[in-house]
């Protein structure tokens, strides 16, 4: 049942076009993405050209380009391209790239100081960030990608096992309570494992990649966390309700003692009672 929930949530979060579009909109609207982009691009320009004296002016110019509406659309497109490469491509690196904005930033800097033409890196390297290397993706991603279509089948199978245990096994309340507790604990374990795996995969040298990857992964992690909370609350309420029901039944409706009728001994045909063995 837990495996089924994991696959269903992953399919909805990572492989549903509408949910992915909502995540990309959040990436575009996130102020930290624009701020970190400005900071990282400024740092690259200053380090390449030795422009520490005019760093503030460069930051203002880069910020104006990043905040432009066309750049916001480019960020959305870049995030979508990164997602497409991750899900449908086989590239070794999943990158976040803004080539048009990089060309614009470089050309404006060269117009400001023509000597920078030989010092600045190519435009293709100026606003290009590696979000994650494919070989650093957690192994759980490949498993989920391969088995995502079986999510509902596994969930229904797990639920059927619980129903069968409730129907045929002794201690039905105990089976139900322990099933709820176990599912809740395992969902929290899944959340923790995926969180640690995401932290390892997005341990990039630049903060832009880490922020974009984090926003993309948080959709799935948030779903797992909400389901874990829901299952935990449901299991706790069911457990307490069962205890209260058991107490009420034993206190106010105690079971009546059972009386067992002893069969009367059969008489012999001659009317004398049968002999009883010692």
Question: 3-class secondary structure for the chain?
Answer: CHHHHHHHHHHHHHCCHHHHHHHHHHHHHCHHHHHHHHHHHHHHHHHHHCCHHHHHHHHHHHHHHHCCHHHHHHHHHHHHHHHHHHHHCCCCEEEEECHHHHHHHHHHHHHHCHHHHHCCCCHHHHCEEEEEEHHHCCHHHHHHHHHHHHHHHHHHHHHHHHHHHHHHCCCHHHHHHHHHHHHHHHHHHHHHHHHHHHHHHCCCCCHHHHHHHHHHHHHHHHHHHHHHHHHHHHHHHHHHHHHHHHHHHHHHCCCCCCCCCCCCCCCCCCCCCCCCCC
Q: Is residue 17 part of a domain?
A: no
Q: Is residue 169 part of a domain?
A: yes
Mark whether 42 and 116 lie in a shared domain: yes
Q: Is residue 85 part of a domain?
A: yes
Q: Is residue 197 part of a domain?
A: yes
pLDDT tens by residue, the chain, 278 residues: 888 888 888 888 778 888 888 888 888 888 888 888 888 888 888 887 777 887 888 888 888 888 888 888 888 898 889 888 888 888 888 888 888 888 888 888 888 778 778 878 788 888 888 888 888 877 777 788 888 888 899 989 988 887 887 777 666 667 777 777 787 788 888 878 877 877 776 666 677 777 887 787 777 778 777 877 887 787 778 777 777 877 887 788 777 777 677 777 666 566 555 555 55
Q: Is residue 4 part of a domain?
A: no
Mark whether 203 and 168 lie in a shared domain: yes
| Boundary of a domain, candidates 134, 153, 171 | 134
| Boundary of a domain, candidates 108, 134, 160 | 134
Q: What's the CA gap between 234 and 221, in Å, rounded?
A: 20
Q: What's the CA gap between 79 and 216, in Å, rounded?
A: 9
Q: Is residue 18 part of a domain?
A: no
Q: What's the CA gap between 190 and 12, in Å, rounded?
A: 16
pTM: 0.66
Q: Is residue 198 part of a domain?
A: yes
Domain that holds residue 146: 139-252
Mark whether 105 and 170 lie in a shared domain: no
Mark whether 37 and 113 lie in a shared domain: yes
Mark whether 48 and 130 lie in a shared domain: yes
Mark whether 193 and 228 lie in a shared domain: yes
Q: Is residue 230 part of a domain?
A: yes
Predicted local distance difference test score (pLDDT) of residue 153: 92
Mark whether 130 and 148 lie in a shared domain: no
Mark whether 51 and 79 lie in a shared domain: yes
- Taking alpha carbons only, the member of 130, 123, 28 closest to residue 71 is 28
| Boundary of a domain, candidates 117, 134, 151 | 134
Mark whether 35 and 129 lie in a shared domain: yes
Predicted local distance difference test score (pLDDT) of residue 202: 66
Mark whether 36 and 85 lie in a shared domain: yes
Mark whether 125 and 157 lie in a shared domain: no
- Taking alpha carbons only, the member of 122, 97, 114, 129 closest to residue 45 is 122
Predicted local distance difference test score (pLDDT) of residue 266: 66
Please tell me the total count of domains within the chain: 2
Mark whether 167 and 144 lie in a shared domain: yes
């Amino acid at each position: 049942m837990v495996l089924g929930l994991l696959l269903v949530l992953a399919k909805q979060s990572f492989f549903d076009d509408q949910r992915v579009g909502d995540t990309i909109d959040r990436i575009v609207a996130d102020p930290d993405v624009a701020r970190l982009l400005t900071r990282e691009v400024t740092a690259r320009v200053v380090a390449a050209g030795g422009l520490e004296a005019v760093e503030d002016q460069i930051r203002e110019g880069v910020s104006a380009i990043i905040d432009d509406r066309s750049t916001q659309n480019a960020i959305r497109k870049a995030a979508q391209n990164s997602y497409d490469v991750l899900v449908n491509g086989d590239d070794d690196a999943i990158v976040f790239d803004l080539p048009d904005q990089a060309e614009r930033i470089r050309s404006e800097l060269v117009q400001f100081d023509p000597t920078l033409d030989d010092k600045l890196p190519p435009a293709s390297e100026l606003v290009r960030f590696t979000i994650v290397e494919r070989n650093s993706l957690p192994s759980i991603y490949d498993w989920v990608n391969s088995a995502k279509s079986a999510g509902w089948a596994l969930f229904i199978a797990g639920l059927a096992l619980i129903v069968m245990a409730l129907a045929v096994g002794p201690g039905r309340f105990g089976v139900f309570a322990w099933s709820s507790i176990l599912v809740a604990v395992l969902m929290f374990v899944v959340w923790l494992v995926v969180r640690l795996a995401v932290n390892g995969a997005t341990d990039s040298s630049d903060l832009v990649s880490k922020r974009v990857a984090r926003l993309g992964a948080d959709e799935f992690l948030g779903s797992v966390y909400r389901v874990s909370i829901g299952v935990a609350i449901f299991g706790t309420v069911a457990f307490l309700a069962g205890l209260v029901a058991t107490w009420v039944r034993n206190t106010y409706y105690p079971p009546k003692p059972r009386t067992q009728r002893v069969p009367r001994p059969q008489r012999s045909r001659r009317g004398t009672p049968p002999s009883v063995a010692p």
